[in-house]
Structure 1
Amino acid sequence: MMIARQPLNFWELTYGSTVGLGLRYLLFAGIAWLLGYWLFKQSWFHRKIIAKFPRPGEVWREVGYSALSMLIFGLVGAATVYATREGWTQMYRKISEYGLVWFWLSIGCAIVIHDGWFYWTHRLMHHRKLFRWFHRVHHLSHNPTPWAAYSFSPLEALVQALIFPVLVVVMPMHAYAFGLFMMWQIAFNIAGHMGYEFHPRWLMRSPLRYIVNTPTNHIMHHEKMRGNYGLYFNFWDRLMGTNHEEYERRFCEVTSREKVPFSKSPSTPVDSRCD
């Protein structure tokens, strides 16, 4: 006897997807906020890339736009679930269908694809005819906090959310692998907006500088409004010549600072080279 498949209620899916994404965002951004802006605000201050803190009104603006982005992400997430149910995607449920090796490889592939998607859509949204409609809201945060990670206009939130269905359309991906990728991208995005540089100074002396992106890279993008368009990796910016010309020097300056009293701004070291 066959059991009839229960119809999907799109709005219930949207509600569940929005709440799930919102709770994860609240957890990760809340932990980052607690660590960087409360518990270790003083002891980490020398690693604050922009050596000051934003006003409360700026933080609440980021929270408000992030909440709107969660709703749009929830809508796209619900549409992705619906498309999967209808057989329009390659998302699967049994790990044995493609094996454990592909389970983990698919997460790596998703990260690489998302990085390319982010770089090129990000550059496109900086076009003078698109910036106002898509990307201006995100750049209201000149000194971003963890809550700025998803502080998008509705149109940019839609662009960023479309990576979800793109991934499961272009390649097979287990539902749990997709969930792990989602956790990764939220955590990395929040870390990049946290405002602190946590990488060691020797990074710029190693080949990793050609691969790994840093919070300094992205905070400079908010500060300077040009260059540094990458997300997880630095190779697109290096390949396309879009790293800000002061990026490596700024990273070395931030990571060369000595601890100073919280009431004082970290001074620029006499020698801030990484070599």
Structure 2
Amino acid sequence: MDDLKHGTRNKRGDWSPNEPLKVGPLLDWPWSPLRILKWLPGYFLPWNAVFMGLAATFWVWLTPARQTLQSLEPGWIAYILLRNSALIVLLYGALELRLYVKRRQGTHFKYNGKFPSDHPSDVFMFKSQNIDNIIRTFATGLPIWTAYEVLLLWAWANGYGPWTAFGDSLWWLAALALVLPLFHEAHFYCIHRLIHVPVLYKWVHSVHHNSVNPSPWSSLSMHPVEHLLYWSGTLIHILLPSHPLLVLYHLQISGTGAVIGHVGFDKIETGEDKAIDTHAYAHYLHHKYFEVNYADGMLPIDKWMGTWHDGTAEAQQRMNERFKKKKARMNS
């Protein structure tokens, strides 16, 4: 596939798409029902459908029985941790192997023309972005993900919270499932802006931003405090009527889904003239410029707050002007 039909490459070898990024149409003004109808298939396919499929597989075949979940026993907790870890190894590892180790599509659709492994840096453990990212993912990322899952499954098994069943609340649970990706984005925006407060950025979020040129293993490479905040949105399931399947779906959106924004490629080629869109450009621009695109654009929150960067020269100019004003205020 010729990536230059879809974008341009600068002198450094960095690729960017021709089309400017657009925010989701649900709350953007002027409101357009036609635009919403055109947007909906991309809301479900492929990624949210994949996450729901993974959640259903985990719930039906890979989650212990309710009676087992009623007691916090080390055996099943360790099993949940191993199950989650295996998924991340398979998915993140496959993407890393294909795109960054074997480099099967070279720099086609790659936002940053450089590969992290070619540029060791002292900001990472062992001067390796991958090693540093993997250690942080497995040392605190997956254990904290699993802790939230264990807490919520245990609460459901013991009837702590307003849990319900699909037979009793089908329409409510279906509606909740539909809005969970939007809720995740709104929650992510709030905690993301919080950890960009200077003191929290310095001691917490800077760990994640060390990966200026992110790759799959950067996805869950965070400070433990950020991990705690990142998955805190799943606590909504003990506040509103919910079901464990939706808990697992929410965890897949936030945990497994984190790789989509960090894969570093706009498209993953699957054959001649065939590719899967990643929709990763908005978050890549955040890693590049730090103070834009705190969310991914499904909701127009960044647009409302003046921090939206759609990849155009006009957006770049607005960002530069905002940075100049901020610097002037700090120096005054």
Q: Assess same fold via TM > 0.5.
A: yes
Q: Which amino acid aligns with 1:51?
A: G
Aligned residue runs from structure 1 range 181-220, under 5 A:
181-198=250-267, 214-220=279-285
Q: Which amino acid aligns with 2:189?
A: Y
- Cα deviation digits, residues 200-246 of structure 1 (max 9, x gap): xxxxxxxxxxxx993121112112221110046251111211113x6
Structure 2 match to 1:228: 293
Q: CA deviation at 1:13?
A: 4.6
- Cα deviation digits, residues 137-163 of structure 1 (max 9, x gap): 111111111111110111111111212
Structure 1: 5+ residue stretches without partners:
200-211, 252-275
C-alpha distance in 2, partners of 1:236/1:53? Answer: 32
Q: Is the 8 A contact 1:28 1:186 kept in 2?
A: no
Structure 1 match to 2:156: 84
C-alpha distance in 1, partners of 2:175/2:294? Answer: 25
Q: CA deviation at 1:174?
A: 2.3
Secondary structure at 1:115's aligned position in 2?
helix
1:54 aligns with 2:112: no
C-alpha distance in 2, partners of 1:152/1:23? Answer: 19
Aligned residue runs from structure 1 range 115-130, under 5 A:
115-130=185-200
Q: Is the 8 A contact 2:216 2:262 kept in 1?
A: yes
C-alpha distance in 2, partners of 1:223/1:172? Answer: 39
Relative to structure 1, is the Cα distance of residues 161 and 51 closer, same or farther in structure 2, using a 3 angstrom cutoff? same
Relative to structure 1, is the Cα distance of residues 116 and 13 closer, same or farther in structure 2, using a 3 angstrom cutoff? farther
Q: CA deviation at 1:82?
A: 2.4
Q: Structure 2 length normalisation: TM-score?
A: 0.62
Secondary structure at 2:312's aligned position in 1?
helix
Structure 2 match to 1:45: 107
Across the aligned residues of Structure 1 and Structure 2, the Cα RMSD in angstroms comes to 2.7
Q: Of the candidates 57, 81, 88, which is equivalent to residue 18 of structure 1?
A: 81
Q: CA deviation at 1:105?
A: 2.3
Q: Is the 8 A contact 2:260 2:278 kept in 1?
A: no
C-alpha distance in 1, partners of 2:255/2:152? Answer: 18
Structure 2 match to 1:260: none
Relative to structure 1, is the Cα distance of residues 10 and 113 closer, same or farther in structure 2, using a 3 angstrom cutoff? farther
Q: Structure 1 length normalisation: TM-score?
A: 0.74
Q: CA deviation at 1:187?
A: 4.3
Q: Of the candidates 96, 102, 105, which is equivalent to residue 175 of structure 2?
A: 105
Q: Which segment drifts farther, 111-120 or 5-14?
A: 5-14
C-alpha distance in 2, partners of 1:50/1:250? Answer: 21
Relative to structure 1, is the Cα distance of residues 113 and 234 closer, same or farther in structure 2, using a 3 angstrom cutoff? closer
Relative to structure 1, is the Cα distance of residues 32 and 102 closer, same or farther in structure 2, using a 3 angstrom cutoff? farther
Structure 2 match to 1:154: 224
Q: CA deviation at 1:50?
A: 0.8
Structure 1 match to 2:71: 8
Q: CA deviation at 1:38?
A: 4.1
Q: Is the 8 A contact 2:264 2:284 kept in 1?
A: yes
Structure 2: 5+ residue stretches without partners:
1-66, 121-127, 269-276, 316-332
Q: CA deviation at 1:42?
A: 5.0
Q: Of the candidates 59, 63, 77, which is equivalent to residue 134 of structure 2?
A: 63
Structure 2 match to 1:247: 311
